[in-house]
Amino acid sequence: MTKLKLQTLTGMHDILPEDQVYFKKVQKSVENITNYYSFQRIDVPILENADVFSKGTGITTDIVEKEMYTFRTKGGDLVALRPEFTPSIARSYIEHGMHNMPQPVKLWTSGPCFRHERPQAGRYRQLLQFDIEVLGEQNPSIDGQIIQMSYDILKDLAFKNIAIEVNSIGDSECKPYFKKILTSYFRSKRSMLCSDCQRRLKENPLRLLDCKEEKCQRVKAGAPQIIDHLCENCHAHFKQVLEFLDELELPYILNPYLVRGLDYYTKTVFEIVEKSDDGVSQGSLVGGGRYDGLVKFLGGRDTPACGAAGGIDRIVNLIKARNAKIDSAGGQASTKAGGKQDDTNIFLAQLGQLAKRKSLKLFEEFRAAKIPVAESFSKDSLRTQLKTADKMGIRWVLIFGQKEALEDFITLRDMKSGVQKEIKLDKVVQEMKAKIKS
């Protein structure tokens, strides 16, 4: 009789006590940054109706076709272990009537996801992810904020050689036309494609741009670019997103063939990759984009949305590989109900596109100085923003309009006394720090 040897299943792994400090560090970085941006935690079930993912993520995606763990319950329901978070959060948004809450709804979560993919270095069948989502807002400033937060998390974890790859894949107006152009191009090169891509050509031609096979990469290099075929609305949206990234001085590159492997994406898509010393991408650490049609597709209202997810296991493996020392100490930002940090006494209000762009950068300066600031970047009305600040019981409102943005100053309003004064933009953080201390 052979002796039974029990060990972890293929693609599964233990997180041993000596490794816990690394995972704790990533979790703290995500918590601190999401709290600063007034995101609230949500936890969704590991097990969902399989339709949540097959409809939401897309039947022809690799996740659903090849990687999703599905099985029938004793009652006959087809269920799935979640392969990602976004469709589950969209389902929760619909189920709990979150459209009745003040928009946008800003949520974050983390935990295990499951994909039956071929295990390799840094890739597991039970993987840990963090996820950030904003639902109920179409303003391009949200895209900029999601990208900034994703970048901040990696910088907080001491990643240095990272770059943001960004693209727009259009929407329901311009994407169908581009698919026809793309299909025509790849059809003429069909014999040069891998067997998976020959099948994708019929089912979902955009997926060909996501193939990692070397021979398909060579064919892709000559393919038409969707950015040349965007409708007016998508072009204007993407232009504003890039302007936000420019203002934030984020290191981005335009990747015209970036599509991400999920069907629900619209408009902005991005990945943050680590580069080797010779500038070659070492793989994606965080990725995401807009998914303006997903909530409606799952049975909810027409709801614009944007989000991102990061692979915690991969991030931890890279931190360990560079022998980085991790301090297990350190707290996290606390948050009251409604998303206001306990010691927030400043609200940043902005009016106009230029002011909105500069406000994102100023907000980052406050974050770097560890000064809590509330904001409502997606709102344009000053009256609405002042009402929000008043409801939050905030003492000082920084008003940043078109005139202020052009002349590099900001108007400070004391909500208690109604008194206003002007402050030079480069002195704002310093002056507000002194006010908080006093």
Instruction: Summarize the annotated binding site as residue ranges.
Output: 84-86, 115, 129, 133, 260, 264-265
Helix 428-437, helix 353-368: angle, nearest 10: 50
* Residues tagged in the binding site annotation for L-histidine: 84-86, 115, 129, 133, 260, 264-265
**8 A C-beta contact, residue 400 and residue 376:** no
**For the CA atoms of 350, 352, 357, 361, what is the dihedral angle to 10 degrees?**
-20
Both tokens of 218, joined, read: 């060579």
The pair phi, psi for residue 24, each rounded to 5°, is -65, -40
Distance CA 289, CA 291 (A): 7
Helix/strand/coil for 91: helix
Pairing of strands 281-290, 266-275: antiparallel
Distance CA 405, CA 421 (A): 15
Pairing of strands 105-114, 266-275: unpaired
Distance CA 333, CA 349 (A): 22
**8 A C-beta contact, residue 353 and residue 239:** no
